[in-house]
Amino acid sequence: MKYCIRNAAALLLAGAVLCGAAGCSSAGGGRTVNKYPDGSLVGEWTNFEYDAVLGQDGSISVETDVSGLIYYMEDGILMADGYEIPAANTKNNNGDLTVTGDITGEGDAVLLELHRTGDTLSERKEVFDGVYEITGGSLKQRLFDEYAGGISEDVSLVIDRGNCELRMGGVGTYTQKGDELTLSGDMLAQAGYTPEKTSGLYFVLENDNAYLHFADGTVEAFRKVG
């Protein structure tokens, strides 16, 4: 799981500006150089297994769906490990959430303690939507172990229209110049995206799709979210 998450982080780069609008020229080696403007890669992208967010500041974070363990329904009921937790069991204290319930048959326990750190970008927000630091609860370590490969530093829970995802920051950094990309970060290198593999890395944009071309000849595809 840890490999897949880190692997996804290296492949998440995309943009929305086409060659016809940005301008193109030929380069040695038989490829076309696309003069994409700075910021073309900023946003959220998916490979349909993981979502990834490229920040304006060059940061890379990865989001993975955790609905296999927890998600909220429209009426505020939390589905936790297959059990229905009534909406009244999610207590809101100035934006922070504490969720209690019984998923073991041994009586109510604190399942999650969440400290609100921000909002989602959704225009149709539901009652508990937001970005949270996971500060406690019996499900905290399960989320880290089963969905973040044991990583716990700089991990947030994102609740967006009831859907729950883990957002892992600090995965790596990127810089973009035209269609050329430079990736850096120990986690990316450990996942196999070494300086040798990413040397000369470039991307091609087609509609909402991005195709990353690596030094070893492999091509990875991502699609823009939203």
Could you tell me the residue ranges of all domains in the chain? 2-64+172-224, 65-169
Do residues 156 and 23 make contact, with C-beta atoms less than 8 angstroms apart? no
Measured CA to CA, the distance from residue 219 to residue 156 in angstroms comes to 30
Measured CA to CA, the distance from residue 185 to residue 170 in angstroms comes to 8
* Model confidence pLDDT, tens digit, residues 133-185: 999 999 999 999 998 888 888 899 999 888 999 998 888 999 999 999 999 98
Reply yes or no on whether the pLDDT at 188 is more than 90.
no
Beta partners for 80? 70, 83
Q: Is the pTM of this model over 0.85?
A: no
pLDDT band at 18 (very low <50, low <70, confident <90, very high): very low
Residues 6+ apart with CB under 8 A from 174: 13, 41, 54, 58, 60, 181, 182, 183, 184
Reply yes or no on whether the pLDDT at 2 is more than 80.
no
Mean pLDDT (whole number) for 50-79? 90
| The three-state (H, E, C) secondary structure of 28-63, written as one string | CCCCEEECCCCCCCCEEEECCCCEEEECCCCEEEEE
Hey, is 220 helix, strand or coil? strand
More confident residue, 87 or 148: 87
> Which amino acid makes up residue 93?
N
